[in-house]
Homo-oligomer: A and B are copies of this chain.
């Protein structure tokens, strides 16, 4: 039985290699499909790479917003689980999410959200293997600060730009 986990993120450590997108889609879709990956790496300016994925907000606004109850939470890992049969692709979960993390699957338009790979996330493994540790497995249940990781990725990138480039960083995104 899996324990509650989440994928902590060190944005500044993200190299932009997108192996997480490759690993995630290999696992969930059977082949390399970056735009069907549950973790998506945004790069509005080179150097400012932001892995964007569900942070399991403790109040689960996405689950509450679903008009057909297609979303639920896993009792063990606390991940958000999408029932693809029920999902009607209305997009309400995307709007409800503070960081607009969910996407509609590029193949069948159903909502897709990171399910933490049932407790053993693939993205974390490849990130660790390469020595970046931008995505790190942490054994911890949801708490109020998770929403801080559910930000619009462009806003995070703007912060990184200033961190890396100083005043110049305010101009580049």
A contact residues, range: under 10
Which chain A residues in 75-123 approach chain B with CB under 8 Å? none
Please name all residues of chain B whose beta carbon is closer than 8 Å to the beta carbon of A133 when the two chains form the complex: 131
Interface string of A126-165 (1 = CB under 8 A from B): 0000010100000000000000000000000000000000
- Which residues does chain B contribute within 8 Å of A131, judged by CB atoms? 133
Check if A67 is an interface residue, CB within 8 A of chain B: no
Oligomer: number of copies = 2
A70 to B55, CA, bound (A): 61
Taking the complex as formed, is A166 at the interface, i.e. its CB lies under 8 A from any CB of chain B? yes
Determine the chain B residues whose CB is within 8 A of the CB of A166 once the complex forms.
166
User: Bound state CA distance, A166 and B166, in angstroms?
Assistant: 7
Q: How far is the CB of A164 from chain B (nearest CB, A)?
A: 10
A149 and B166 CA atoms in complex are apart in Å by 27
How far does the Cβ of A161 sit from chain B's closest Cβ, in whole Å? 14
Cα A133 to Cα B131 in complex, Å, equals 10
Q: How far is the CB of A93 from chain B (nearest CB, A)?
A: 36
Query: 2 A-B contacts, Cβ less than 8 Å apart?
Result: A131-B133, A166-B166
Q: Which residues of A contact B (CB under 8 A)?
A: 131, 133, 166
